[in-house]
Amino acid sequence: MHREGRVRLIRRREGVRMSTRSRDLFDRAVQLIPGGVNSPVRAGKSVGMDPPFIDRAEGCYLWDADGRRYVDYVCSWGPMILGHGHPSVIQALEAQLPKGTSYGAPTELEIEMARTIVEMVPSIDMVRMVNSGTEAAMSAIRLARGATGREKIVKFEGCYHGHADSLLVSAGSGVATLAIPGSPGVPAGIAAHTVSVPLNDMDAVETAFERHKGEIAALIVEPVPANAGVLPQGKSFLEGLRRLTREQGSLLIFDEVISGFRVAPGGAQELYGVLPDLTCMGKIIGGGLPVGAYGGKRDLMERMAPQGDIYQAGTLSGNPLAMAAGLATLNALRQEGVYASLEEKGRRLFEGLGERARAAGVAVTVNRVGSLGSLFFTEGPVRDFASAAASDTSRFRSYYARMLEQGIYLAPSPFEAAFVSTAHSDEVIGQTLDCAARAFKGLASNQK
């Protein structure tokens, strides 16, 4: 990698810190913001490093406050599927900015966004825009409870659907990263309405439905689980969930906040051919701006106020800047060949990581679906939260530091996904694999 991409690390008792300006910014941040960050995983606690503070981004690169360049495989945790500062997104924002940033009133952009989502996502007839994935999942569950007259929901261990109270039971992502068992502040009475079962275990799901027969409003699942690392499920498992929920009079909710518009134009439901009752979306549909949405069949969505009796609202919902950026992103993704290119980039990167690790004698399991994937330091297989949690997190910590030192920016957690964008060139992916080969070689040397 270029010299500007290398990072000098300074060790201290608590772990490893970034140098100079990022270090100074973090020292200031912890005095004013809990943990110094506005979303917990960013703090880097599980990798023993203070975070680099980012100053700017372009294409597949980030530059920190000290001017060091990194190849970005976090992609703002997924939404930057076109890379940073894509010309069509910038043009859309520049066109909208002089017109205003928020109205609190309907706009034509909202109609265009709704039309585009309905055209792209197979199960959706109507959609409601919100401001985050958390809000989308919370609202979809409220709709499911209101529509069925039931209170319980079923979720899967290690799946993260945002930080609403009822969804922090056995959650993945930052909760797993920080080893927090659920979260204080969630009332026991609310948690009691959530039934958590292991991923990829149809027997456990059927047992839960039998035990709570007639009580389950909905089952919510990430069709491509990516919040305890990527944990692919077979099509037959999703088909089993679809069959069971129909038989039991419960709704099936797909949380496609991450997988939506990333693994296929219509998300995982298009990829696997399994259609849910409700879908939660976010990230990519905002083109990098805060956004969320939930949608489904007309008869369900017409239950939402003001047309129906189930209430949900948001001052900034359908924000014109987010709609403009999101529409530009979705239109770019609809161009011929985009998803085939992303698939090939993902294949080359993640298969290449596995090959470099095996060549160095380092045991890893690499899981991938399209342009997102995860590297687990274990012989595997890794199919659920328990097997993900059993991987060697200390080895990930060392790997993360070695990659960051070479200018490769990964999620600072062993329980997150890496993302490829259209801006990652073959040359950049090749350089990344060279860096990984050196990192694995260093890990193998430490074993001896």
In total, the chain counts a number of residues equal to: 448
Task: State residue 259's pLDDT score.
Answer: 97
Options 3.40.50.460, 3.90.1150.10, 3.40.190.10, 1.10.150.120; CATH for 3-72+338-447 is: 3.90.1150.10
Nearest CA to 424 among 77, 52, 70, 5? 70
Confidence of residue 4 (pLDDT cuts 50, 70, 90): very low
Task: State residue 391's pLDDT score.
Answer: 95
Task: State residue 15's pLDDT score.
Answer: 42
pLDDT tens digits, 254-271:
999 999 999 999 999 999
414-425: string of b/e by CB count within 10 Å (b at 16+)?
Answer: bbbbbbbbbbbe
pTM over 0.85: yes
* Enzyme catalytic residues: 160, 255, 283
Give yes or no for a contact between 231 and 417, defined as CB atoms under 8 angstroms apart.
no
Return mean pLDDT, the chain.
91
Query: What are the residue ranges spanned by the domains of the chain?
Result: 3-72+338-447, 87-333
pLDDT tens digits, 27-81:
999 999 999 999 988 888 889 888 999 999 999 999 999 999 999 999 999 999 9
Distance of CA 206 to the CA centre of its chain: 27
CATH class of 87-333: alpha beta
pLDDT tens digits, 165-184:
778 765 544 444 444 445 67
Average pLDDT over residues 128-139: 96
Task: State residue 179's pLDDT score.
Answer: 41
Distance in angstroms between the alpha carbons of the first and the last residue of the chain: 27
> 348: which 2 tokens?
């080359």
Q: Dmax over Cα atoms in the chain, in whole Å?
A: 67
pLDDT at 14 over 80: no
pLDDT at 138 over 90: yes
Distance of CA 389 to the CA centre of its chain: 18
Nearest CA to 279 among 299, 265, 294, 266? 294
277-295: string of b/e by CB count within 10 Å (b at 16+)?
Answer: bbbbbbbbbbbbbbbbbbb
pLDDT at 145 over 90: yes
Q: List, as one string, the DSSP characters of 328-377.
A: HHHHHHTSTTHHHHHHHHHHHHHHHHHHHHHHHT---EEEEETTEEEEES
Give yes or no for a contact between 216 and 151, defined as CB atoms under 8 angstroms apart.
no
